[in-house]
Amino acid sequence: MSTDSVIAQPRTIFGLLLSQRRRFTRGVTLAILRCLIIAPCPWLFQIIIDQHVKNGDGLGILATSSVFIGLLFLHYSFSVAGALTIAREMADLMTGLRGEIFNKLHFLNFGFLDRQKTGRLLSKYAFDTQKVENALTQMLNQFLPNILYSLSISIILVALNWQLSVALLLMIPILLYIRVTFYAQIRRTNKDTRIAQERLTGTASEAISALRLVRSLGEEKQVTAHLDEKSTAFARSKVELSSVNAIFGTFTYASTQFLALLVIAGGAWLVIQGTMTIGTLLAFMAGLPIIMMPVHLFASLGEQYFVGQESYRSIKELLDSEYVEEWNGTQQPTPLRGEIQFDNVSFAYPETDRFVLINFSLHIQPGEHIALVGHSGAGKSTVTHLILGLYRAQEGCVSIDRIPLQDLDMKWLRKQSAVVLQENLLLSGTIADNIRFARPEATDEEVRFAAQMANAEEFIVRMPDGFNTKVGERGVMLSGGQRQRLSIARALLRDPRILILDEATSALDYESERLVQEALERLAVGRTVITIAHRLSTIEKADRVIALDHGRIVERRTSAALA
Ligand SMILES: Nc1ncnc2c1ncn2[C@@H]1O[C@H](COP(=O)(O)OP(=O)(O)OP(=O)(O)O)[C@@H](O)[C@H]1O
Ligand SMILES: [Mg+2]
């Protein structure tokens, strides 16, 4: 499966910006105009003092001031228009990037995903994209235009008095050099902070999902202590970041004051010498903060840049991850008969060295109903994972309709199958939405019928809004058995060729199970069904019972022999 991306993904956010330059041309042009339009202001100050004041020209002051106001107005208009344009394009770009992240999650293999913490992935999706956005916006809206602003002011000041300008401009590279030496430290601190934040959100999201469990066990203290530890680490890294920034900030303030002194003292000396007018000195005082802007920007934006870069790196790590499912097959044997064959399959979960299935061979006929039994951890669920290609076997071959999995179009195959698990996650939305998830185009009638078959209609109609009742993020308002019946309805609606029931009825009471079981039997006709269960009642109707023990088949019998 390919993971074609719509957004080019260079190594740095600066590269990202360059690759997106076309979409930002308009906004950046406006931002640059915003800065250039007020560049002549120090020069206007000089004209007012040296010409109008000297000549006692009141009208001149008014005229020059009007020009000034006109420029300010334009500056303001460009400023608003530019910021808005950049914000719009940025929102677009970020929606794309978030889409890309999520899309990637759909392609990554479970060997990789099993090792990721939900909170960390969430952090990449929600926070890191935000930080990248901040950094890019600052670069476009502040950094680039203001550097140009500073440059144009420098040109005007050089024209007014080159000696003082040169003295001033020489100071800037020195200040910048000192700044740059701080960078290594800032970068390191930022990385520490990001990692601490990911750990904190990871642990917190886990703790939040486990609130019920923790309270039931009365182990709040333990969890709080664990969370506190992560929280303290995060806080500590923030303090370090602040202290690095404070050292930076103070340095910035002190150096600005030093330069102001340089301008006043040097300028005053030049005025005494008669080589400079008071008006020019005033223009220098007005221009100084602007000339200094790049140095300040390196301080504040430098930090944001590194925060953004660090976040971008973390996003890219995910986007570049090579742990994608390697299913590139294209065959779609239509109609699927549902014949499943394991030939000497040995399998260990990625990053583990213990084989869960060893030399496993099993041939399931189309339309056959197989029951898998065995102790907990025997490898029953693993067998179903391999059928659906959620993991790849290291040895041997799994094939469906006599076609090895690697030649099949896996997405297509999964759409022909349905699974009901012991733990059933509901999506937020209505009950009908949840059933319909398996087949979005299904009619209300079909949804209702599926619910009926799953023996779920009975409790659904008693809910406040029937099929339109909203269920919580994880279906919190439903009992385990009710959730299971919804999942069964979902599976039935799909009308799958291969139906996998992994402890699908374990949470049901005897009567419900009997009803669901009957429905399943009726529906099982003509499909391949794999049932995993512990209860004898669940498996007695199976054509064959396969007993697993530590990844090996220890017994094959027909269910008749079982009875
Ligand atoms: N994602 C995973 N990563 C690593 N090891 C796993 C993973 N899932 C399962 N295992 C291991 O594989 C073995 C078989 O697990 P499996 O889920 O197939 O057992 P099972 O027969 O379905 O058990 P149960 O009846 O408890 O559901 C177990 O020892 C388990 O620890
Ligand atoms: Mg299992």
CB–CB of 430/483 below 8 Å? no
CB–CB of 132/13 below 8 Å? yes
Residue with the nearest Cα to atom 7 of ligand 1?
A: 349
Spatial distance between the Cα atoms of 133 and 308, rounded to a whole number of angstroms: 8
The 10s digit of each residue's pLDDT in 504-543 is 888 778 887 887 787 777 777 889 999 998 777 778 888 9
- SS3 (DSSP) at 372: strand
Residue with the nearest Cα to atom 25 of ligand 1?
A: 376
Q: Kind and range of the H or E element at 22?
A: helix 21-37
Spatial distance between the Cα atoms of 27 and 529, rounded to a whole number of angstroms: 59
Instruction: Determine if the peptide bond prior to 42 is cis (ω within 30°).
Output: no
Query: The whole model's pTM is what?
Result: 0.75
CB–CB of 507/455 below 8 Å? no
Counting residues of the chain whose pLDDT is more than 90, the rounded percentage is 47
Contacts for 247 with CB less than 8 Å, ≥ 6 apart: 182
Taking the CA of residue 372 as reference, the ligand 1 atom at the shortest distance is 21
**How far is CA 190 from its chain centroid?**
19
What local confidence, expressed as pLDDT, does residue 72 receive?
Answer: 93
What local confidence, expressed as pLDDT, does residue 508 receive?
Answer: 79
What local confidence, expressed as pLDDT, does residue 6 receive?
Answer: 56
Phi, psi values for residue 345, rounded to 5°: -85, 130
Nearest to 314 by CA among 514, 125, 538: 125
Taking the CA of residue 374 as reference, the ligand 1 atom at the shortest distance is 21
Residues flanking ion ligand 2, Cβ below 5 Å: 381
**How far is CA 64 from its chain centroid?**
53
**How far is CA 332 from its chain centroid?**
33
Is pLDDT of 182 > 50? yes
Angle at CA 251, nearest 5°, toward 250 and 252? Answer: 90
Kindly list the protein residues whose Cβ atom lies closer than 6 A to any atom of ligand 1. Answer: 114, 349, 352, 356, 374, 376-382
Residue 353's alpha-carbon distances to 348, 360, 379, in angstroms, are 6, 17, 15
For 180, the token pair is 């740059």
The owner of tokens 């995993």 is 532
**How far is CA 241 from its chain centroid?**
24
* Nearest ligand, CA 385: 1
Residue with the nearest Cα to atom 3 of ligand 1?
A: 349
* Mutation pick for ligand 1 pocket among 115, 380, 530 (CB with most ligand atoms within 8 Å): 380
What local confidence, expressed as pLDDT, does residue 209 receive?
Answer: 85
Q: How far does residue 541's CA lie from ligand 1's centre (Å)?
A: 26
Domains and their CATH numbers in the chain: 13-319 (1.20.1560.10), 340-562 (3.40.50.300)
Is pLDDT of 65 > 90? yes
Is pLDDT of 125 > 80? yes
Spatial distance between the Cα atoms of 345 and 512, rounded to a whole number of angstroms: 36
Spatial distance between the Cα atoms of 365 and 136, rounded to a whole number of angstroms: 58
Taking the CA of residue 385 as reference, the ligand 1 atom at the shortest distance is 18
